[in-house]
Structure 1
Amino acid sequence: MLDSIDGSASRYRLFEYLAASEGEFVSGPVLAERLGFSRQALFKHICALREEGLDIKSVPQKGYMIKNISETDPMSQTLMDFLLRDDPLFNKSIYFPTITSTQHAIKKLAQQDAPEGIVAVADEQTEGRGRRGRSWHAPSSKNLLFSVLLRPELRPGDVQLLNLAAGIAVRSVLKDQYQVDAKLKWPNDILVNGRKICGILSEAAGEPDRIYYAVTGIGVNVNFTEEDMSEEVKDIATSIKIEKGLTVPRPLLLSRILHSLSSYVLDLKKSDGKEKLLFSYRKECDTIGREISVMQDEEKFTGTAQGITEQGALVVKVGEKEKIFAAADVTHLRMK
């Protein structure tokens, strides 16, 4: 799997050259000369890019042209490599049309000593799951499903901070780029009007005093409609398409989320990074101040969410006492 990460260098060079001239035709002879391809090899690479779903126009006597790169969907390995090329952390990706789980793929790479920052993206997961091993299904090619490999300088008890960082990163993109009124629900959901638009799952491997690696999986409901939903999720799920009527290019959304996430993850390596992350999350978390129910180990508690600890755990006032939950299922009961 590691060998597949770099992809076709020649194909990427061709795409990069066309992208630099986006919206303008470049002749076949010029492309062949500048890139050192034969005419036959050039045509082969053009066909391969088109098979990835990239819209490359060709006109006799004019050459080849690509346009509207930022509006391109479906997913494409070459396009993802291009969009992530300047990201300070997440600049290597692997695309799967179908896979059991992007979490599984990244864990396997982590166990092979792959470096931090690799991203696995899929159009469809056959064994996608959320917290506590719950199955998680999404229609193919409608949503954004990906996992990232992290090697954070955190103690195992601080792994919840990765969920918080991912939540802030996704919410900021949804709100700033698409005007979606998204709310953070501790520990790992993003809601719009009480309906789920994003789920996050962070898992770590290590020893009692250190983390070897962590895998953070993110699923964003992007372009599915209510007709795509099963009956059991129609009242509890939503998407950007449903909320705003927009068909959103998933590769661009992916790059925006990863650029946002990389800044929060890299900040965690700084002396004041944890404090800054917690300040931002506490400010934006919609769970704080609400009456909630908490399910942990088959036991249910009802109380008021008071705040977030230094480790990212939830503080809840239950009766006259405060309880701290490092991980649990939370339901919002009342508006603030």
Structure 2
Amino acid sequence: MPRTVAAVGGGVLLFDEIGSTNTMAREMVAAGRSVAVVAADRQTAGRGRLDHTWTSAPGESFTVSFVARAPRAIATDERVNGWLQMIAGLAALDAIRAAVCDANDGKLMLKWPNDLFCDGRKLGGILAEMVMSPAAFDVSADDADDDVALVFGIGINLDVPADRLPTAQATSLQLNYDLRGNAAADAADSGNAAVTDADTLRDRIAAGIAAGLRSRIAAFAADPRDQAATLLEETRQVCWTLGHEVEAHFTDGSTLRGEALALNADASLMIRTPDGKTHVVRTADVGVLA
């Protein structure tokens, strides 16, 4: 993954097969080891939000975890930290648009809070986890309270044919864009015709996400209030959830059904139920019904 290595300056691990890229990244951070990106050709025990599973096959999927750092005060501040998840989604959309021919057609969107959508179907998902580095537990360290690691596991259906998609509501980049032509042109530019389509595309997208996460989180950390307002407007423009009938599933097993009205200043979602009441949803698996 040469572009990704260049984007992060090193610390990139690539596995033929792994249980979970997020688990590997999280364990390395917790052990104090330096890592920026963990990628795998095949993932056998991947996890999504609320313990959903995400598996992948070689050459078909993008299965990559990114490690970013943010001030602990911001990462733990519920007034603004919801935007960190949305930043990962926006960085992923930017990277796909830059890497894939014709992807600036308006079909790429976000489903609140953690899914990538293309033409109304699920293209991928994001799992965000906060990890305290060993220094965070050392009260004698000067920067003990300053920094935390954020692990963003991003899965994207790349070259997946329709008969191999996990559900009828899923899609892949292959089904929407010309990946072959894009990869062939890229291989010709790089002088490496031996690079496979999946390898080339994964590297381009991963490098874009890594760079986007770095720049976006730095801007957010410098001025979270102002950036939250900017992110709110940007996310509204690409939020597939808004205006649709949705059902929110919570960790306690309860559900809430209604219309997704708006995003709030803290990145939470406003839902209006059939009785006319509005509800603020901050953590849930939200499915679009219509």
TM-score range, shorter chain: 0.7 to 0.9
Aligned equivalents of 1:257, 1:213: Cα separation in 2: 16
> Which has the larger Rg?
1
Give the TM-score normalised by the residue count of structure 1: 0.67
Q: Is 1:127–2:82 an aligned residue pair?
A: no
CA–CA distance in structure 2, aligned partners of residues 237 and 171 of structure 1: 17
| Aligned 1:76-225 pairs, distance under 5 A | 80=1, 82-87=2-7, 91-114=10-33, 118-153=36-71, 154-156=74-76, 157=78, 158-178=80-100, 179-180=102-103, 181-205=107-131, 212-225=148-161
RMSD, aligned CA: 2.4
Q: Are 1:264 and 1:277, in contact at CA under 8 Å, matched by a contact in 2?
A: no
Higher RCO, 1 or 2 (CA under 8 Å, sep at least 6)? 2
| Pairs aligned (count) | 248
Give the Å deviation of 1:113.
2.6
1:284 paired with 2:204, answer: no
Task: Say if 2:66 and 2:210, in contact at 8 Å, map to a contact too.
Answer: no
CA distance in 1, matches of 2:68, 2:95: 21
Offset of 1:107 from its aligned partner?
A: 0.7
Q: Does 1:241 align with 2:174?
A: yes
Q: Is the 8 A contact 1:159 1:204 kept in 2?
A: no
Structure-1 residue corresponding to 2:210: 258
The two structures have a TM-score, normalised by structure 2, of 0.77
- State whether residues 86 and 113 of structure 2, in contact with CA within 8 Å, keep that contact through their aligned partners in structure 1: yes
Question: Kindly tell me: are residues 287 and 91 of structure 1, through their superposed partners in 2, closer, same or farther at Cα, counting changes over 3 Å?
Answer: farther
Instruction: Assess if the C-alpha contact under 8 Å between 2:4 and 2:204 holds in 1.
Output: no
- Read off the aligned partner of 1:238 and give its amino acid letter: T
Matched, 1:317 2:272: yes
Q: Using the alignment, how far apart are the partners of 2:212 and 2:149 within structure 1? A: 20
**Judging changes above 3 Å, is the alpha-carbon distance between structure 1 residues 85 and 205 closer, same or farther for their aligned structure 2 residues?**
closer
Partner of 1:333: 289
Query: Which residue of 2 is the match for residue 28 of structure 1?
Result: none
Give the Cα–Cα distance (whole angstroms) in 1 for the partners of residues 117 and 278 of structure 2.
26
Per-residue CA deviations over 1:93-126 (Å, capped at 9, x if unaligned) read 11111111111111111112345x7111111111
Judge conservation of contact 2:21–2:65 (CA < 8 Å) in 1. yes
Q: Is the 8 A contact 2:270 2:278 kept in 1?
A: yes
CA distance in 2, matches of 1:213, 1:177: 27
In structure 2, the residue corresponding to 1:240 is in which secondary structure? coil
Q: Deviations over 1:264-294 (max 9, x none)?
A: 2222122133332232112221212222121
Match of 1:294 in 2: 248
Partner SS, residue 222 of structure 2 = coil
| Alpha-carbon distance change, 243 to 268 in structure 1, aligned in 2, over 3 angstroms | same
Structure 1, unaligned stretches of length 5 or more?
Answer: 1-79
Structure 2 CA distance for aligned equivalents of residues 166 and 191 of structure 1: 14
Structure 2: which amino acid aligns with 1:124? R
1:145-165 CA-to-partner distances (Å, cap 9, x unmatched) read: 111122212242344322201
In structure 2, C-alpha distance between the alignment counterparts of 1:147 and 1:176, rounded to whole Å: 19
Q: How far does the alpha carbon of each residue in 1:12-47 deviate from its partner, in whole angstroms, 9 at most, with x for none? A: xxxxxxxxxxxxxxxxxxxxxxxxxxxxxxxxxxxx
* Aligned equivalents of 1:279, 1:203: Cα separation in 2: 25
C-alpha distance in 1, partners of 2:231/2:33?
A: 26
Deviations 1:74-98 (A, max 9, x none): xxxxxx2x313543x5743111111
